[in-house]
Amino acid sequence: MRIAVITETDPHEDRVAATPETVKKLVALGATVSIEAGAGLASGVTDADYQGAGATTAPNAQAALADADVVLKVRRPTAAEAGQMKRGAIVLAIMDPYGAEAALQSMADAGLSAFAMELMPRITRAQVMDVLSSQANLAGYRAVIDGAAEYGRALPMMMTAAGTVPAARIFIMGVGVAGLQAIATARRLGAVVTATDVRPATKEQVESLGAKFLAVEDEEFLQAQTAGGYAKEMSKDYQAKQAALVASHIAKQDIVITTALIPGRPAPRLVTEDMIASMRPGSVLIDLAVERGGNVALAKPGEIVTTPNGVKIVGHLNVPGRLAATSSSLYSKNLFNFLETMIDKASKALAVKWDDELVKATNLTRDGAVVHPNFMPKAPDPAPVAPATPSA
């Protein structure tokens, strides 16, 4: 059983899909682990660290991938990378499959068994494999740190002989894993925190962290959650009422952090240009959804924009990757925990249970085809049947 880990080629990606800790565990399961030279450097892991854990170092990606039965990655493999993998290889990564039909087909054409880690179901035994939670948790933390750095003032209230410094006011929009960590971090730093979300279950979570909950709590609000625990898109009427409430609140805030995402859909627009214009000079907006279209008007992916009225709009890409060492540690454990379920410990060989609910939920391609029901190519409409010719 050969496992390969290669350097991520995306210029904004510093994470790596294995650490010495997970390599040691993989070797104990009977695997031979080959890691491309330098793959972990951006995450603070040297080739010597990997070798000390039992891995071998390959001079390049092609050498690492040669004959690999399993490939561990952070991002979806490029067409070139997929072409270097052997047919039948298992690939675990954050695949970002929505709207990526051509990329999925290229993996299918390469004969890969590709698994999208972000599609892991939200059930108890899958919690240790949940990459969305492990990475969003760090994004929420980092968003507060980035906001504090850009804000230029102290966050906690300080009473000194020279005078009193008021606590900063921080508003979190979207209370998923990232939002909850942002609330907790902002509270630990001494800010006055409010938060909003369309899901009623989040109210208690927000208040348990010492923050104040803000929402239009009507009947639609009480029904606004899917069975999987995700937010669902709200009606135009509700959005208008919520926007009016948020608009009056946001004008008084020092830092606003937006985290709202809808799986498979563009991020909802939460902060309008009028809201930004109402904010005070020096205020900061952090848009964690900027890579999915953005929650904030005027946000630009990969840039910090300063508006004419002095508001900073931060659109950092790959925020978990800004904490590459920590995010790689957690992500690699998520991968290991999933891969471990595919290994027969007695024979120390791959033994994928294709009918397992975790496998079925995450498997995108297999045996040369896209097999996930949400991403399979649509069958062409049947040709119209010509009307029968009446008999003479």
Residues serving a catalytic function are 122, 127, 130, 133, 230
C-alpha span between 181 and 99 (Å, rounded): 29
C-alpha span between 356 and 195 (Å, rounded): 38
C-alpha span between 178 and 141 (Å, rounded): 7
242 and 220 Cβ atoms separated by less than 8 Å: no
**In a 10 Å sphere around its CB, with 0-12 CB exposed, 13-18 middle and 19+ buried, how is residue 162 labelled?**
exposed
Token output for 6: 């290669």
At 82, the amino acid letter reads A
Quickly tell me which residue has 């214009």 as its tokens: 277
Distances (CA, A) of 94 to 124, 285, 356: 20, 27, 20
Q: How many CB atoms lie within 10 A of CB 66?
A: 14
107 and 77 Cβ atoms separated by less than 8 Å: yes
C-alpha span between 19 and 48 (Å, rounded): 12
Instruction: Spell out a b/e string for 250-266, using b for 16 or more CB atoms within 10 Å of the CB, else e.
Output: beebbbbbbbbbeeeee
**In a 10 Å sphere around its CB, with 0-12 CB exposed, 13-18 middle and 19+ buried, how is residue 273 labelled?**
exposed
C-alpha span between 296 and 315 (Å, rounded): 9
Q: How many CB atoms lie within 10 A of CB 331?
A: 29
C-alpha span between 40 and 15 (Å, rounded): 7
C-alpha span between 81 and 102 (Å, rounded): 15
